[in-house]
Amino acid sequence: MNVLIIGSGGREHALAWKIKQSPRLTNLFIAPGNGGTKDLGTNVTLDINDATQIKQAVREHGIDLLVFGPEEPLVRGVVDKIKSDPDYSKLLIVGPSADGAQLEGSKQFAKDFMEKYGIPTGKAKVFNKQNLEEGLAFISAQKPPFVLKADGLAAGKGVLITKDPDEAKENMKDLILGEKFGAASANVLVEEFLDGIELSVFVVTDGKDYKILPEAKDYKRIGENDTGLNTGGMGAISPVIFADDKFMQKVEQKVIRPTVEGIAKEGMDYHGFIFFGLIKVGDEPYVIEYNVRMGDPETEVVIPRIKSDLIDLLEATANSTLDQVELAIDPNTATTVMMVAGGYPEKYDKGHVIDLEASLNDAIVFHAGTAFKDGKLLTNGGRVMAITGLGKDMKEALSKSYEGVSKVKWIGKNFRSDIGFDLKALGQ
């Protein structure tokens, strides 16, 4: 089978790494890929939001299975454009059509969907230019902290949380009047603050059945002890001690099942991943967001724990036979530590030479922002590479991750040395 993965991050490298292990693979392509994916297959340069260019790559390379990593092409309807072309009716596609992708593309849509299907989530009200004064008054009447969310895609920066009501009101004006995220912040949700511990849960679904993938904990802040600015994610752990069987049964019954049933009832064409961003409040799961893709860096710990063939799983996702596949999960722990450019998530340099020792025996290196140019591996983004360790417990896995981290060098490299600190405090 010929496979094309769309995207260029650590997530896509991890997907490529696992697909490469399948005996069913003939040729692997990654578009646009990065400095690491080129060693697993062929990097293809194209605009990932352009259906015509993707179709051309599919035709040229005889692709059988097309897998979308990031959300943007999905929200923009790239899958719909490919599926509506009869020449591509046999192509297997992992990635929802635009109606399903609205679960990530519009927080208001997601909120309405959750309310309709009784899925636990924080209460929210939506404001825009028309009722801005009402929105400001609403903030005054609420108790802090105040959670404001841009309705549309905002590159992970669309959530603003503050305890200060005046700052919350300024944020609302910035978002709506200042068009902070353009059309994506024309509508703003003011959401109930949920006080608890976060968890990422993933499934693949073919729109009727689903398979639950390993859960993970993500570390979003740049600084130790979860301080400082938000990032795309500085590390991840799977499994997660507080996501025990009892809690995961609740997640399945109250969140996963009603979501997939809702997708079926709405008649969405959904073949792909669902990422449930959850907060555990007391013993109860609440959804803070849906994503219609895998998480990054969560994929770098989820994928190494999947023992089954990934092509089998993705094919079944695409052709609606998920009820016929078995998913085997490795009980070991996976950890990943993200190595980032100095200065990230603010201003940072690109183009530093990466010195990667050949002998990272016990760790898996997933490239994110890297590029291979003129025979050299260079930094090419804020998040540069994720180093994954697998072990019998979190301690063993982390020691492999950090040993790997110590062997990768470039000018300005930065990483968090406390990944898993909170889980350790809980006994993991």
Ranges assigned E (strand) in 250-391: 272-281, 284-291, 333-340, 355-356, 363-367, 370-373, 376-379, 383-391
Q: Computed over its alpha carbons, how large is the radius of gyration of the chain? A: 21
Closest CB to ligand GLY among 155 and 328?
Answer: 155
Q: Are strands 235-238 and 227-230 parallel, antiparallel or unpaired?
A: unpaired
Q: Residue 193, interface with ligand AMP (CB under 6 A)?
A: yes
Site for ligand GLY in 263-302 (CB under 6 A): 291, 295-296, 298
**Closest Cα to residue 379, out of 414, 418, 336?**
414
Choices 16-24, 81-89, 188-196, 237-245; region in contact with ligand AMP by CB under 6 A:
188-196
CA distance 338 to 370: 13
CA distance 376 to 174: 43
In the set 24, 61, 220, 350, which binds ligand AMP (CB under 6 A)? 220
Cβ–Cβ contacts within 10 Å for residue 293, how many?
A: 26
Site for ligand GLY in 126-155 (CB under 6 A): none
Choose the contact partner of 198 out of ligand GLY, ligand AMP, none; CB within 5 to 8 A by kind: ligand AMP
Q: Residue 147, interface with ligand AMP (CB under 6 A)?
A: yes
Choices 131-139, 155-163, 168-176, 348-356; region in contact with ligand AMP by CB under 6 A:
155-163
Residue 366, both tokens: 């997933």
**Alpha helix positions (H), 183-278:** 245-251, 257-265
Residues in contact with ligand GLY, counted by CB under 6 A, come to a total of 7
Closest CB to ligand AMP among 13 and 111?
Answer: 111
Q: How far is the CB of 38 from ligand AMP (least distance, A)?
A: 31
Site for ligand GLY in 226-265 (CB under 6 A): 233
Q: How far is the CB of 250 from ligand AMP (least distance, A)?
A: 19
Q: How far is the CB of 10 from ligand AMP (least distance, A)?
A: 17
In the set 289, 362, 396, 403, which binds ligand AMP (CB under 6 A)? 289
CA distance 205 to 327: 13
Looking at the DSSP bridge assignments, the partners of residue 160 are 148
Q: Which spans of this chain sit near ligand AMP (rule: CB under 6 A)?
A: 122, 147, 156, 159, 161, 191-194, 198, 220, 277, 288-289
